[in-house]
Amino acid sequence: MRTSKGARAGQYAALLAYLVFLAFPFLWLISVAFKPPRELAGLHPTWIPENPTLDNFRQAFDEQPLLHAGLNSLVAALGAAVIAVLVATPAAYVMARRRGRFAKAATGWVVVSQAFPFVLLIIPLFLVLKNLGLINSVAGLVMVYVVWSLPFALWMLAGYVRAVPRELEEAAAVDGAGPLRTLVSVTAPLLAPGIVATALFAFVTAWNEFFFALVLLKTPEKQTLPVVLTHFIGAEGVADLGPLAAAAFLATLPSLVVFALVQRRITGGMLAGAVKS
């Protein structure tokens, strides 16, 4: 019994250390965002600002078009999430239910695609978008984000499809439902937690992405929020720390809000839809 309690205490200690490790950068970011320049330049940094101020936020909005860049990021992230889910859901269903060359090829594509680095992909993607006239456009960036997130979304949803009992689909087939009707009316409602989790993954990935946006978007009015954040760093690598922290704090809020809204859906049971119906 003592060994069991000791092991459990060790697990809790490890979990607490991991949570502190994850929370430290965000908490420090909040602290810096509300500190005046005098405290930021002090020799003895403190966790809690002694004289909290909103000047960093005002200066951040005055120096850079954060709202416009945030709107660009929101359009790109939502577009990528919606399109990725619409494409991945039927493809994942086929991959999970059909045992053939398509399923094997799709599985191999998912594994291989995750091994390619960004630098290797940007050149062919740039040439394709250039031929389509989509360079320096949010629509072209959405296409890139869909291509990048689709393999993992496909693999993720296929696991949820395999967890749905085949008997439900067989019963629908006996009632005369075709494959498409079965997917829409029977399987898709049961995949709601997986669809939400996949959409959240695609949204957060697109919202935080920097490299593709930096290469593909040239004009300032088309740039996304991660690219605009780099403008707070001067040519000599010196950052305007207070406004940068304030802008970065604001940039993290949408991801946190989206996750807070859908966390119950993600952690819900796989067959919650069956109970409702």
Q: Looking at the structure, do residues 62 and 41 belong to the same domain, yes or no?
A: no
- The Cα–Cα gap between 274 and 251 comes to 37
Q: Looking at the structure, do residues 91 and 13 belong to the same domain, yes or no?
A: no
Residue 194: is its pLDDT beyond 90?
no
- The Cα–Cα gap between 124 and 129 comes to 9
The total domain count for the chain is 2
Question: Among 35, 53, 71, which residue terminates a domain?
Answer: 53
Q: Looking at the structure, do residues 114 and 32 belong to the same domain, yes or no?
A: no
Q: Looking at the structure, do residues 235 and 267 belong to the same domain, yes or no?
A: yes
- What's the rounded mean pLDDT across residues 145-169? 84
- What's the rounded mean pLDDT across residues 178-192? 78
Q: Looking at the structure, do residues 217 and 252 belong to the same domain, yes or no?
A: yes
Q: Looking at the structure, do residues 17 and 66 belong to the same domain, yes or no?
A: no
What token pair was written down for 15?
Answer: 């979990």
- Other CB atoms within 10 Å distance of the CB of residue 70: 19
Q: What is the pLDDT of residues 236-273, one digit of tens each?
A: 666 778 899 999 999 988 888 877 776 665 555 444 43
Model confidence at 141, in pLDDT bands (50, 70, 90)?
Answer: very high
pLDDT at 277: 39
Q: Looking at the structure, do residues 145 and 32 belong to the same domain, yes or no?
A: no
- For 76, the domain range is 56-276
- The Cα–Cα gap between 171 and 36 comes to 66
Say what the pTM is.
Answer: 0.81
Model confidence at 186, in pLDDT bands (50, 70, 90)?
Answer: confident
What token pair was written down for 133?
Answer: 């006239």
Model confidence at 17, in pLDDT bands (50, 70, 90)?
Answer: confident
pLDDT at 193: 82
Q: Looking at the structure, do residues 241 and 105 belong to the same domain, yes or no?
A: yes
pLDDT at 266: 59
% of the chain beyond a pLDDT of 70: 84
Model confidence at 276, in pLDDT bands (50, 70, 90)?
Answer: very low
Q: Looking at the structure, do residues 167 and 216 belong to the same domain, yes or no?
A: yes
- The Cα–Cα gap between 248 and 242 comes to 10
Q: Report helix, strand or coil for 37.
A: helix
How crowded is the C-beta side of 124, counted as CA atoms within 13 Å? 6
pLDDT at 213: 92
